[in-house]
Structure 1
Amino acid sequence: MSSFRVIVCLSLLSVLNIGRVSVSAKEVAKSAPDVGQKVADFDLPIVGGDQMLKLSDQYAEGPVVVIVLRGFPGYQCPLCSRQIGALTNRIKTIAKTAKRVILVYPGPASMLDDHATDFMGSRKLPAPIVMVRDPDMEMVNRWGLRWNAPRETAYPATYVINSDGEVAWRLISDSHGGRSTATDIIKALDKIESTN
């Protein structure tokens, strides 16, 4: 009976902790760039090299999708891998409107390149997808997406940014799941295309 009580108590604590994280995510969503607002620019290194990618150079050519992954919170996130796989399966449709799809891999700078390269494995990203590193989570902090909890880095988030650098659509998840789908992104890009 004693071990049963311990299990029940631990389960309740786990549920309560998840509830607190969700509240924090809602607060983050209020401070993160919203639809109609201009996003802060970034200049981040591309995974696997030292070449830099500047956001404003990308959206000057047309709509850009920015997907913030979880990076390395102590392990490689399987939901991030699944999200990228689904995205690459629909990239031809996405690329009809999006000039660039930027995957942001945040984390502490010390081992970030190694972790990001490990995450990519043998996977080759089709154009126009590119993955960048966010050393010490500078971009994540500037955009208000930092998930300040043990073994966390950033809230999974997707932004569709128009050619003026403004948010046309966004989704910020309050959990590891609840992420944007390729269909969500395509619908958001279609709205941009229909207004041009």
Structure 2
Amino acid sequence: MKNIKEVNGLAIGEIAPSFTALDIYDNKYSLSDALSKGEVVLIFIRGQWCPFCNKHLKEIQENLPLIYKKGASVVVVSPEKSEFIKKTIEKTGAEFTVLYDADYKIAKAYDVLFKPKAMLRVMYNVVLGANLKESHSDESEQLPVPATYIISKDGKIKWRQFNPNYMKRSQINDILDNLN
């Protein structure tokens, strides 16, 4: 398992790894299918317990019509199981797709997965009620760096926001400026 300093996230210009995953309704989402319709804004979040994730997703939701107007879609990837993702949707009003990243496959493919230090895990679990061992697919308590990628129709990463500081998130203006 990697620590935060060992993850770099995929770079601009790299081919975005294709994936399929289930949403909370057990509908299958395919990145390649979504890209056939337009660009994709891919966002990794830590979970429903994360106030920064919830604030970010609310901002995305508020600006969703502007993203759609650019011909793009939004998909969010969470390490949490469906019952916890439902809480994220309730807290943020999300009308976009939120996927469960079973076994962290998508986060690993995008090189955003790490294991927080022990003291942080205690804070997340005790203070913020994250329940990482129960809410994820295993007991490893790994999390993704909350990164944002814009993937062009040709499957390449054309823009990214990647910052190990979980408080630093993509800004809606940056997302809109980098969509066609």
Same fold (TM over 0.5): yes
Give the structure 2 partner of residue 85 of structure 1: 58
1:182 equivalent in structure 2: 172
Letter in 2 for 1:115: F
Q: Report if the CA contact (8 A) 2:41-2:73 is conserved.
A: yes
Work out the CA distance in 1 between the residues paired with 2:37 and 2:61. 21
Q: Which whole-Å CA distance do the structure 1 matches of 2:47 and 2:102 have between them? A: 10
TM-score (norm: length of structure 2): 0.79
Offset at residue 124 of structure 1 (A): 4.0
Match of 1:41, SS? coil
1:146 to 113, 126, 145: 113
Please give the alpha-carbon distance, in whole angstroms, between the structure 1 residues aligned to 2:59 and 2:91.
17
**Higher helix residue share:** 1
Letter in 2 for 1:100: S
Q: Deviations over 1:79-108 (max 9, x none)?
A: 01100111111111111124310011114x
The verdict on how the C-alpha distance between 1:176 and 1:122 changes in structure 2, with shifts beyond 3 A counting, is: closer
Segments of 4+ moved more than 3 angstroms: none
Q: After superposition, give the CA deviation of every residue in 1:121-174 in whole Å (9 maximum; x if it has no partner).
A: 265433xx2111111211101211102224351100000000001001001121
Q: Which residue of structure 2 aligns with residue 14 of structure 1?
A: none
Separation (CA, whole Å) in 2 of partners of 1:121 and 1:87: 14
TM-score (norm 1): 0.73
Using the alignment, how far apart are the partners of 1:54 and 1:38 within structure 2? Answer: 15
Of 97, 117, 121, the match for 2:86: 117
RMSD over aligned Cα atoms = 1.8
Q: Tell me if the contact between 2:44 and 2:148 (Cα under 8 Å) persists in the aligned partners.
A: yes
Shift, 1:119, TM fit: 2.1
Report the residue type matching 1:182 in the other structure: I
Larger CA Rg, structure 1 vs 2: 1
The answer on 1:28 being equivalent to 2:4 is: no
Picking from 74, 77, 91, the partner of 1:101 is: 74
In the alignment, structure 1 residue 52 sits paired with structure 2 residue 19? no
Q: d(CA) in 1 for partners of 2:92 and 2:115? A: 30
Structure 2 residue 123 is the aligned partner of structure 1 residue 133: no
Once the two structures are superposed, what CA deviation does each residue of 1:57-99 show, in whole Å capped at 9, x if it has no partner?
1011111100000126xxx101011001111111111111243
Are 2:55 and 2:92, in contact at CA under 8 Å, matched by a contact in 1? Answer: no
- SS of residue paired to 1:85: helix
- Maintained 8 Å contact 2:150/2:158: yes
Mark the runs of 5 or more structure 2 residues left unpaired by the alignment. Answer: 122-141
Q: 1:84/1:123 Cα in 2 relative to 1: closer, same or farther (>3 Å)?
A: closer
Distance 1:98 1:141 in 2: 28
Residue type matched to 1:160 in 2?
I
